[in-house]
Amino acid sequence: MKTLNDYMKMSYRMEIIEDKEEGGFIVSYPDLPGCITCGETVESAVENALDAKITWLKTALKEGIEIYEPDNLEGYSGQFKLRIPRSLHRSLAEHSRREGISMNQYCVYLLSKNDAVYSK
């Protein structure tokens, strides 16, 4: 039987969606049904999501709820190289600075947001 630490080491996919009605961002883990939270900024939403994941896993272990392992991501490094115009680079850097997060985190948010739209 796996422990909380075993599950925490696994790479569960996190989805981040902007909440246009209420403001802020909604975060969920598709492989952990019902594990969802939100935050005013992307950074706070991600931080809240990590807390929600721990709580969800602890509860599932305690209650004997089946915990699915994340989708197999073998063959995906999580990195790719992208060349963009300098003007877009500047715009992304400025937006991420205003949000108080790294440009990498901001780009992940943008990609996740748009991927969620197109995957429906």
Tokens of 45: 């939403």
Nearest of 101, 111, 102 to residue 80 by alpha carbon: 111
Cα distance between residue 34 and residue 103, in whole Å: 29
pLDDT per residue as tens digits for the range 50-63: 999 999 999 999 99
pLDDT score at 79? 87
Domains and CATH numbers, the chain: 4-118 (3.30.160.250)
Contact 96, 103 (CB under 8 A): yes
| pTM of the model as a whole | 0.60
| Structural element, H or E, at residue 25 | strand 25-28
To the nearest 10°, report the CA torsion of 105, 111, 112, 113: 110
Average pLDDT rounded to a whole number, residues 23-44: 93
